Each structure stands twice: as C-alpha cells, then as structure tokens.
Amino acid sequence: MKKKHFILPVLSTVLLAPAFLASQVFAEENAAEPSSPAVTASDTGSADTASAPAASEASTSEANSGTEPADSANAPAAAADPVAAAAPASAADPAAAQTNSLPEATILHTNDVHGRIVEEKGVIGDAKLATVIKEERAKNPNVLVVDAGDAFQGLPISNSSKGEERAKILNEIGYDAMAVGNHEFDFGLDEARKYKEILKFPLLSSNTYANNARVFQASTIVDKDPAAEGDEFVVIGVTTPETATKTHPKNIPGVTFTDPITEVNRVIAEVEARAAAEGKTYNNYVILAHLGVDTTTPVEWRGSTLAEALSHNEALKGKRVTVIDGHSHTVQSTTYGDNVTYNQTGSYLHNIGKVTFQANQLLGNPQQISAETAKAVTPDPTVAAMVSKIKEKYDAESAAVVVDKSPVELNGDRENVRVRETNLGNVVADALYQYGQTGFANKTDLAVTNGGGLRETIAKDKPITKGNIIAVLPFGNTISQIKVTGQNIADMFTKSLGSTLQEKDGQPVLDENGQPLLEASGGFLQVSGAKVYYDTNLPADQRVLYIEILNKESGVYEPLDPAKTYYLTTNDFLAAGGDGYTMLGGAREEGPSMDVAFADYLATADLTAYAVINPNSRTISLSSAKDSDGDGYTDIAEIKAGTNPADAASYPVIAKPGDPAAPAKPAASLADPASAASGQTKPVAVHVAKTFTKDPAAKELPQTGSESAAALSLAGMVLAFFGLAGIKKIHKDN
C-alpha cells in the first residue's frame, strides 16, 4: 500500500483523540475521587486494612524510642477480629432498641484548651467555664461534662506546674471523663500517668499501649441517676496515632498507638457483651476522640472517619452515638447516618460545646457557647480563687523584662507559622543559628524549627518578658545539633513543603505572590542560613526547586551539595525525628533550652530587621513557570544562574535553553529574593480564594469535553469512514 493511502486514517485518528481522551479523563477523575472515606465500617471488618496504619505508627514509635517491637503474636491491634467484635452474641437485637425510653440529656464538652486557665479576650477561662457547667447542671441533672484532650500543656501559666494545677481545677469543676491528647505526653510518660492519680475522673484512651497493655482506661460508664434505667453514658476514649510524631519521642518510650476505629469497635463489642450477660441495655455512647479532621491527618485516623464508621456499626443501631473530637482545633458539627452526632468546639476555650438531646431523640442538637456569650457569666468564686493563686505565683516568675519595647509585631498565628515563612519564625531560627556558631564543636551551617512549636505572637510597642518568650516556646525543647548530608536536607524540605493545599469554596487560597497556600502543618519549617525556592503548583514531591546554603565564611549562598556533610541546628524534637522527619535522628550535641537562647538573641538583635511579617526571603514561594522579564528564561533558571530575574539589565545576553553553543551565565551572588518576587504577579489578599487560569495567549490543544473537541471528533469520524473505505478498496484492488 502506498504511503498516501494512510493520510485519511492517520488524520482521522488525530481528530478522534479528544473523544477518547475525554472518556479516559472522566474515568481517571472518578477513580481519583472515592465517594466514601478510606476507612469505613466495612473497612474495619478487615484486619489487613484496619491494622496497617497502626502497624506503621507502632514501628515509628519503636524506631524513635529505641525499644524492640512487641511480639506480633501478642500485639494489641490483632487481639480480636473486629468483625466479630462489632456484632457480639446477645439475646437482644441492638437494632431493635426502643427509642421511646431515651430521656433528655445534655453533653457539655471542651477540647484543646491548652492551659487557658485565665479569662482573656476571646478566652472564657476556667472560672466562667465552671459557672456555665453548674448552671447547666441546675437545669438538668442528666448533664455529662467531658474533654477531648490537650488540656494541660500550652500556656506558660499551666506549663509552670506541668499542668498539675489545671488538673486540680478540672476536679473542682467536676468533669466526668477526659480523652488523652497527644500533648498530654509533653511532660513525659510518667507525668501523663501522674494525671491519672491527680484527676478524680477517668483519663481515657483505648488505643494507647505499652508492653501489650493499655496505659490508660479504655472506657467508663457514667450514671447520673442510679435509680433510672437506660440513661447511662458509655464513654470511650481514643488518641491520635499521630502522637508518635506530635510529641517528643523521648516522652513515649515503648508506647504504641493502634488503629482508632478497630479499638473503638472492640471496646463497643466488649461493653455490649457485658451488658447482654448482665441483662442491661446501654442507649448512650460518647466517643471522646482526640483525632481531628485536618487534611494532613491520614483519612483513616480522622474523627470524621470514625464517626462515619460508627454510623454503620450494627451494635449501635437505635442508640445515641456522640463523637466529641479534638486535635484539629476545628469548630464543626456534623451528623452521620440516623444516630451519630459529631462535634468539635475549636480550641483555647474560645467556645464551650453543648449537645442537647430531646426525649426519644437519637441525633443531638450541637451548639457553641462562645466567649462573647459567656461575658455576662459570673465567675465561679472557688475556681476564680484557684486561678488567682496560680497566676500570682506565675506572674512573679515571668515578669522579668528581656526587651523594653518591641519595635515590631512578631507574628506567631497558627495559620501563619504553619503555612509559610514568618518574621517570628525567622527570629527564632536566627537565635538557633547564632547559638550554633559557638555552642557546639562544629559551626552550624543552617538552622530550622517547626512552625508547630511556635505558639504566640509578640506584640508591637510592648515589653518582651520572660513570660512572653515562654509563651512563644512553651514546650521546653532544647537546642540540638546533628550531622546531616545535603540529601537529608533536601528530603527534609520536601517533607516540610509536602502538605495539601488550602481551598475555599472549591478554589485555591493564594498568597501575595499568587501562589497556592499550603494547609497548616506543625511540621512546616522556619529557616535560617538557607534559601529554599518552591512552587506549590507542582506535585508534593516536586515542589522544591532549588536550595542554597549560606557559606558562613564567605557570606555567600551556595547551591546545596547532596553528597556534602552539613551541621544542622534545630530543636531536640525534630532532631529525634519528630513531626515525621525520619531523615533526621542519630547522634547529636545538646545545648540549652530554646527559650534561653531566644531570650539571649532578642536582648541584642536589631528587631527592626524583622518588620515584614511574611518576607518570602528564605522559604521563597514562586512559580516555576514565571518569567518576570519576558526574556524566555524562567525566574528560577535565572536564580540558579546567579542573576536577578526581575532585571534584564543585570546580566549579559544568554542563549536559549538547549543551545550547546551558548556560553553559560556567569556565576554571581544571588540578588535580593524579595525584589525577584516583587515582579511576579499582582498581589492578592491572603486567605482570599482565587481561581488559577492559564495564560490566555498560550497555544494548546482543545480541552477534552469542550465544544471544539467535539467538532474535531465529528470531523475525525467522517474522515475515518472515507479512510477505511479507501483502504478496503485498495485491498480489493490488490
């Protein structure tokens, strides 16, 4: 057959491509968006599926703690078949439970208070919290009061007693139960166990194990009226497996955190089996979960996934199920199925959660009692006196002034320091870097600290006190230096910049440079002694475009050498592999606590150099496709070549990429990155959703599914008909 006879078939194939691509894209998009969470009730019936996250988390904890893995034959995650556990043998069918015997009930709850003992702007404080609870109990004796974890650690006023004084306040308020949060371990495992001794109510976690035994009580039954039947609350606690990386590994030696859904279902099965044996019926289940709904949390470990799974648990049919969650600091109320109410009340005692059940009602009515609403509340005198005594002692210890008046605001807002470079992150990292020049056997090459470890803002035009410094760095972490390779550093920044992206109303939220903002992650690194260029438009493992390390002798930034040895100064949490930085770890030198080094640095630093809250000068967000001066070379290519991408006059003419005859750009020191970024895009407001659009001048094939694609496909079909007819004729002629 002659080549000309192939023209029509080939052309028709090209024109038909949009139709086939549209079909393929539709299929891939549907496959990439499952309609249900990764772990559902049916998933919990599979030991392989449900146990995988727990096994992974356990191995992480063992690696960090230096302990040997537990005997797999005795591992708690495999102690029972979750399918059998979810449906125990019972004379009474759980699905047949009668709702006409359910009394009125109220659940008051808090989560992630983080030591907010004192009433402040937007913070209710413990004294008014006590009054709200007393008033609710006066209205209805069937009131359950619970906390979903992270109650003791946070502000220095609570940290000063390792949370023990706040534990005494909670006793006075009269809580009924509390879940174990990841930060309950921040003062060590022994202190977490001590809380059990101080508290007059149960501290619950069904999935926290050490030596194949639960560290805490898994559940409790709260009976407000022993004379009444069926009004009891079964309360079960569960702790995020992220605790293995969200507290210092030294705080949890030998501790593992098993799969939340598997453990909660197991405890439900045990409770129901006992109830059946005793001829009892429990109608109210409350799951105190410290899991959260952060997009950075694995789906199978989220509180919302647990709530969805419980809505399919046959043992809970006809019963009230309330999931009280924490960890993600979210205000959220949702229902699952016909009997599961999910609620989380934010953080820092900005709100008190309230779930009200009418008689014979399965789903609760969630509400929030805000700090604004609580303004009119009279503080409880007994708790107020306890708070006053704690505050008086703390104030005396922390009143020492380090800086007479801060000339700038050093911003430590959670949604800022966990998302991108901030001036507070820079000054803390600089304090670590400066200490690292003289405090260790080898001079530090770069310093990093995690945004999740920065907890407060330092106000402008006010004194900076010891208390302010401790508020910024409340964890008592020490400075550490470790020896790493350039590849370790590259992997570290890939991890730091690997979070999912923020969205609002289905559209990406952009920073001032028009780049998508990352979701808040405690592992986001604030940097000194390095520059990291990254593009959040790219896949997570490809976002890091270029890394430079400051040569401490010459003062010039040089490209990262993957094979070179560097000395990294950080906090002991990250140095030990915390927040998932498994590429770190190993032998390290230890320095003083971070707050000491930070105070020393603040006392002598020129703080006016930190006036810009988000300078974009160290972790530098930019588009890898941006060409600010329109010369055909991307900004990042010019930065690598040592020229200023915003100023075409700053460098000689260079050949187009790929031209072997072209001379290379001369090496030069990097221009001011703030200037390089300034010409990128028209700034947009931070946290305002914008839609990304492609360059309208760009030439591209029609999108699959568009009208132009359909027209091309129709033309292709016509040409294909004639092409095939021609081929048939040729064969016939031959």
> First and final CA of the chain: distance in angstroms?
9
Closest CA to 257 of 247, 244, 270: 244
Per-residue model confidence (pLDDT) at position 100: 57
Closest CA to 407 of 463, 362, 359, 454: 463
Where on the phi/psi map is residue 156: left (φ > 0), alpha (ψ -120 to 50), or beta? alpha
Place of tokens 């221009």: 671
Q: List the chain residues with pLDDT less than 50.
A: 1-98, 648-714, 716-720, 722-734
Q: Which two tokens stand for residue 106?
A: 């109220």
pLDDT > 70 fraction of the chain, expressed in percent and rounded:
74
Q: Which amino acid is at 636?
A: I
pLDDT, tens digit, for every residue of 427-470? Answer: 999 999 999 999 998 999 999 999 999 999 999 999 999 999 99
Let me know if 337 is exposed, middle or buried by CB neighbors in 10 A (0-12, 13-18, 19+).
middle
Q: Which two tokens stand for residue 408?
A: 């700038």
Place of tokens 């999912």: 500
How is the chain split into domains, by residue range? 1-31+693-734, 41-66+74-391, 404-621
pTM of the model: 0.64
Per-residue model confidence (pLDDT) at position 513: 86
The whole-angstrom separation of Cα 95 and Cα 396 is: 59
- Beta pairing, strands 105-110 & 143-147: parallel
Per-residue model confidence (pLDDT) at position 156: 82
The whole-angstrom separation of Cα 283 and Cα 142 is: 14
Closest CA to 320 of 273, 287, 291: 287
Per-residue model confidence (pLDDT) at position 646: 61
66-94 burial code (b ≥16 CB/10 A, e <16): eeeebeeeebbbbeeebeebbbbeeeeeb
Per-residue model confidence (pLDDT) at position 703: 36
Place of tokens 């016909």: 338
CATH number of 404-621: 3.90.780.10
Q: Is CATH 3.60.21.10 the right assignment for the domain spanning 41-66+74-391?
A: yes
Residues near 197 by beta carbon (within 8 Å), at least 6 away in sequence = none
Place of tokens 């229902």: 335
Place of tokens 């998933």: 43
